[in-house]
Amino acid sequence: MSAPAAGAARPEDFRLGAVIITMGNRPAELAALIDSVTSQEGPAVELAVVGQGAPLPPLPEGVRSVELPENVGIPGGRNVGIELFGEDGRDVDAILFLDDDGLLPGKDSARLLREAFTADPGLGIVAFRIADPETGVTQRRHVPRLRASDPLRSSRVTTFLGGASAVRCRVFEQAGQLPAEFFYAHEETDLAWRALDAGWSIDYRADVVLHHPTTSPARHASYFHNIARNRVWLARRNLPAPFVPLYPGVWFLLTLARRPSPEALKAWWGGFRAGWREPCGERRPMRWRTVWRLTRLGRPPVV
């Protein structure tokens, strides 16, 4: 099935929104990010800010916002932000997801995204290049493909980084929103697989840059637990039956080969077991043609 043509015919008519989630602990960075979004060339990018269990600082006039009583996780918070633009974001044509400590250094990012989406009606998701603001270096893990040695090369990909991306709102209508139960880690891949299965394409665009300080994902206490649990959930939710044990099995071996610390391995093993024992949401296995499409794009669903 091919994705239908969608969105405005002219770039200047393509409406962009942006969702920022924050826990209220980076007010200066949040203000700088908002300024970088409102400073974009061309038609204004509509803004929505979601407070995750924290009060929001004063926001510019016209910014949509909500303060949640608790932290519902990254995908859950972004889903709330989507709905601030109407059901499945229908008030706009595509939504940017931005981390509250990120920054759009160029004023042409919105224009580049409008041009990309209108030039290719089948383009569903755009992944930005993430660069450290001090060094300009892009971490290998931030390039969403296996051949990640050249972050300046744009390409078709099979996943994306959630805090530096733009998603066409028709994708939410057809493939659903982000899996809130994941809370953190791999929720983007879940959406990406479902979008690809619905016929949409995903591009990594090296010319659309988000500045973000170099960090390690292991700084999150739940990191090792969640990456193990959510990889199992990815397989259970999305893969044809023969791949369900194969995909997490390969990652089990890769994890052992990387020799994590005893504490990290213990957390990872707990998450791996939880992935099989706990409910993961609706199962919608992708078609075999999507498995082949992932393989042709260089990322078969075994790694």
Q: Count of CB atoms within 10 A of residue 57's CB?
A: 14
Maximum pairwise Cα distance, the chain = 55
Helix (H, G, I), strand (E, B), or coil: what is residue 119?
helix
Does the model's pTM come out above 0.75?
yes
**Contact present, 40 and 203 (Cβ < 8 Å):** no
Helix (H, G, I), strand (E, B), or coil: what is residue 270?
helix
Q: Count of CB atoms within 10 A of residue 140's CB?
A: 9
- Where do runs of H (alpha helix) occur along 210-242? 223-238
How many angstroms separate the CA atoms of 196 and 81, rounded?
Answer: 23
Q: Which long-range contacts (CB under 8 A, 24 or more apart) does 239-245 make?
A: 239/285, 239/286, 239/291, 239/301, 240/285, 240/286, 240/288, 240/291, 241/285, 243/291, 243/301, 243/302
pLDDT digits (tens, 9 = 90+) for 47-68: 999 999 999 999 999 999 999 9
- Element at 208 (helix H, strand E): strand 201-211
Q: Which has the closest alpha carbon to 163: 210, 213, 216?
A: 210
Q: Which has the closest alpha carbon to 203: 176, 171, 166, 230?
A: 166
pLDDT of residue 221: 57
Q: What is the pLDDT along the chain (303 residues), one digit of tens a residue?
A: 455 455 567 999 999 999 999 999 999 999 999 999 999 999 999 999 999 999 999 999 999 999 999 999 999 999 999 999 999 999 999 999 999 999 999 999 999 999 999 999 999 999 999 999 999 999 999 999 988 889 999 999 999 999 999 999 999 999 999 999 999 999 999 999 999 999 999 999 999 999 999 877 655 558 999 999 999 999 999 999 999 999 999 999 999 999 889 999 999 999 999 999 999 999 999 999 999 999 999 999 998
Q: Count of CB atoms within 10 A of residue 23's CB?
A: 12
